[in-house]
Structure formats: structure tokens, C-alpha cells
Amino acid sequence: MSESVYQRIADELSQRILNGSLAAETRLPTTKELAASYGVAINTVHQSMKVLADRGLVVRQPKRGTFVSRGASATSIAIVLGSDVFADDDKSFHRVLIGHLQKILAEDGWATTVHLAARPESRRHVLEGVYAEMTAGRSRAALLVSSDELVGEFESRCDAPWSYTQASIDTDDLAFRCVDHLLTRGHHDIVLLADWSFDDTDPRAIAAKAGALRAFQAHQRTPPPDAFCYRGCGARAGMQAVEQMRSQRGTMPAAIACLNDRTTLGLVMGITAHGLRLGTDLALISHANVGIDILSPVPLTTIAYDPTEFARAAWHNLQLAMAGKRRLDNHLVTGHLMPGNSC
């Protein structure tokens, strides 16, 4: 049988489950009965049942049969947090992201429950609660946020549909656009400040360096020797980077491209503490997130990213999982230039 046949059967049964014609915990006809009813081979029915199971709509119980899952008609999504985004100052983006997720899901008719599985001592208890919520039919699926450590757990334990936020910044594009903007405005002594260690194993570092070099090459310029020597994450790291530049260079560079908004806050504090004026004595362009301000004496020029786009990508991937389809690979998000007075 072609794929369309077993898919059509699965779609028809899905519709009957979701509209209530087949209620929760209803036992489906046997494989032989369904094969005879649809006039197809038993193997085709097996394929259809796998699709329904992948969608979280049925549960197969050995020697008993296949039953409509309790969560098939649930209208709630469990959002599982792998870090304490509410207490961690470095997680402001994730706090905003959760708000956008809840808004988008509400617009589509879904309620949400939020589960904090950040602390190792309570994580097992929280996750068991999430599994119980889905098993009992109170939640249809789970969406993991800031939760790399939980992916393996859900892969091995969770039978219901689930996904995680699979969108990230196109670092190559960010670095290219930051450096390109500075070069276009006549700045040549440019330092790139990243929030991770530059080495040959970090894909983000490779992408950032490649993007920056591409910009220098496009303008037929050679990057300064220390263009890729500075790094750090967070306001403290940004202030330390200022001191490192002054110590190693004897002066500040003409321009800085910072790839992390939290680090930029420290840069701004360090730069102004030395009496330098942004946009006059030193040019600065930064990564930023829409809705999250970076305190600065002048409006900053930024490449800004909208958390709504990350939220929509996460919801789309969860919808694919709920439809029994393969989740998309990492979705790269590009930002928008927001002109300011810092360069």
C-alpha cells in the first residue's frame, strides 16, 4: 500500500478521536477488523496505528488491544523549564519567550501549565508530575524550554508528543552584519566580542568568525590582530573585556561588535566609566532582543531579534510532533538592523 493510504486511515481515525466520536479509553477495533473495514492489508493498519501512537492519540496495550489515549482530547500544553528562568538574571530572553509562547498557544485555543524542573533535587518529582499529567489526559503534549539536559530524559521516557525550542540565532549572519555595518561607516579597527570561547570545536565560534571574516573580505580589509581575542558572557564579562582591551592594546579599539546583549550592558558601563562617549569616541553595535532593553546613555545600534519568531518556531515543531511527523532541524533566526546613535 502507498504511504497515502495508511496516512489517510490515520487521518480519518485522528479526526474521529479529536472530535469525540471515539472517546478517551475507547478500545479500537482489532487490526484484522480495521483491515477488513478499510479493505487494506494488515500491515497497512499497523502503519496507521504507528502514526496514531506517534501523535499521542492511542495507547497500545499488549494482549488487550489499542485504546484512545486519555490525553487525546486535552486542550492544554505542558511547558517544562530546565532552568530557573524566573530567578536567573541571565535568562531574561527565556522569560519573554515563555510569555510569547503562552500568547501564541492561547490564540490557537490551547491552555498552558508551566513546570519548573531546574533544581536537581526536585527534578525527578517535577518530571513525574508532567508524565502523570499527560497520562491522565490533562495535557496533550510537552514543550521543553531552556532544557538541554531534559532532552535525553524525554526521549527515553515520554510516550506523548513533545518537542523543544529548536530555533537559534544565525551567528554567521549576526557577525557579518555587525562588522559590515561598522566597516560601511568607516570603522576599520574592529573587535568582535563573543559570549563563548573561540576554539575549533564550537560551531557558534566557527560561524561567528566566518561571518566576521566574510565582512572584512567584502570590504577588502584585514582584521586587526586581536579581532577575535576577547570573549565573555554577562555584564561582568563585558566590563572585564574593557579592561583587557585597555591593558593589552593600551587604548580602546575604534569599534566593537558585541554578539550578546547582556555582555553589551557591561561594555557600556566599562566604556562610560572611562569617560568615553559612545558614538563619538568609540562605535558599538550589539545583538539585542526585542522587548529587552540594554541600558545605555545613547540609543544603541543593534541587530534585534524578535522572541515571537522563536516562539512560533517552537510551536510549529511541537505541532509537527503532535501530528506524528518529524520535527524540523534547528531553525536559524535572522535579526533586523535597528539604527541608533552608538555608531
Domain residues for 266? Answer: 169-306
131's CB contacts (< 8 A; 6+ apart) are 157, 158
Is residue 324 assigned to a domain? no
Looking at residue 284, its pLDDT comes to 97
Looking at residue 99, its amino acid is: G
C-alpha span between 46 and 34 (Å, rounded) = 10
| Shared-domain flag, residues 46 and 155 | no
Is residue 210 assigned to a domain? yes
Looking at residue 127, its pLDDT comes to 93
Q: In the chain, what percentage of residues exceed pLDDT 70?
A: 98
pLDDT of residue 196 exceeding 70 = no
Structure-block grid coordinates of residue 118? 531546574
pLDDT of residue 47 exceeding 70 = yes
Structural domain total, the chain:
3
Looking at residue 284, its amino acid is: L
C-alpha span between 192 and 267 (Å, rounded) = 12
66's CB contacts (< 8 A; 6+ apart) are 27, 28, 49, 52, 58, 59, 60
pLDDT of residue 316 exceeding 70 = yes
| Shared-domain flag, residues 173 and 302 | yes
Structure-block grid coordinates of residue 82? 530546565
Is residue 187 assigned to a domain? yes
| Shared-domain flag, residues 299 and 201 | yes
| Shared-domain flag, residues 190 and 301 | yes
pLDDT of residue 203 exceeding 90 = no
pLDDT of residue 22 exceeding 80 = yes
Q: Is 56 helix (H, G, I), strand (E, B) or coil?
A: coil
Is residue 332 assigned to a domain? no
pLDDT of residue 229 exceeding 90 = no
What is the domain-level CATH number for residue 120? 3.40.50.2300
| Shared-domain flag, residues 57 and 180 | no
Q: Which of 23, 49, 71 is the last residue of a domain?
A: 71
| Shared-domain flag, residues 221 and 187 | yes
Residues 86-126: tens digit of each pLDDT: 888 778 889 999 999 999 999 999 999 999 998 888 899 99
Residue 52: pLDDT band by 50, 70, 90 thresholds? confident
Residues 123-153: tens digit of each pLDDT: 999 999 998 888 888 888 999 998 888 888 8
Looking at residue 200, its pLDDT comes to 62
Residue-level length of the chain: 343
| Shared-domain flag, residues 85 and 154 | yes
| Shared-domain flag, residues 190 and 252 | yes
Looking at residue 1, its pLDDT comes to 43
Looking at residue 198, its pLDDT comes to 55
Is residue 119 assigned to a domain? yes
pTM score above 0.85 = no
Please name every residue paired with 338 in a beta bridge, in sequence order, or none if there are none. 302
Burial class of residue 142, CB neighbours in 10 A (0-12, 13-18, 19+): buried
Lowest mean pLDDT among 71-75, 76-80, 197-201, 279-283: 197-201
What is the domain-level CATH number for residue 38? 1.10.10.10
Mean pLDDT across 42-60: 86
| Shared-domain flag, residues 192 and 288 | yes
C-alpha span between 214 and 228 (Å, rounded) = 14
Structure-block grid coordinates of residue 70? 486519555
Cα 242 to Cα 94, 283, 293: the distances in Å are 27, 13, 21
Is residue 118 assigned to a domain? yes
Q: In the chain, what percentage of residues exceed pLDDT 90?
A: 50
C-alpha span between 229 and 245 (Å, rounded) = 9
Neighbours of 196 (CB within 10 A): 16
C-alpha span between 63 and 73 (Å, rounded) = 25
CB 165 within 8 A of CB 145: yes
| Shared-domain flag, residues 14 and 54 | yes
pLDDT of residue 169 exceeding 50 = yes
Q: Which of 165, 180, 211 is the last residue of a domain?
A: 165
Question: DSSP assignment of 178-244, as one string?
Answer: HHHHHHHTT--SEEEEESS---TT-HHHHHHHHHHHHHHHHTT-PPPTTTT-EE--SHHHHHHHHHH
Residue 191: pLDDT band by 50, 70, 90 thresholds? very high
Q: What is the mean pLDDT of the chain?
A: 89
C-alpha span between 81 and 111 (Å, rounded) = 16
Lowest mean pLDDT among 55-69, 160-174, 203-217, 289-303: 55-69
Question: DSSP assignment of 59-100, as one string?
Answer: EEETTTEEEE-GGGG--EEEEEESS-TTT-GGGHHHHHHHHH
Max mean pLDDT range (4-8, 159-163, 200-204, 333-337): 333-337
C-alpha span between 186 and 109 (Å, rounded) = 51
Is residue 329 assigned to a domain? no
CB 243 within 8 A of CB 209: no
Is residue 20 assigned to a domain? yes
| Shared-domain flag, residues 194 and 289 | yes
Q: Which of 107, 140, 165 is the last residue of a domain?
A: 165
| Shared-domain flag, residues 218 and 232 | yes
C-alpha span between 47 and 63 (Å, rounded) = 19
CB 246 within 8 A of CB 252: yes
Mean pLDDT across 263-280: 94
Looking at residue 114, its pLDDT comes to 93
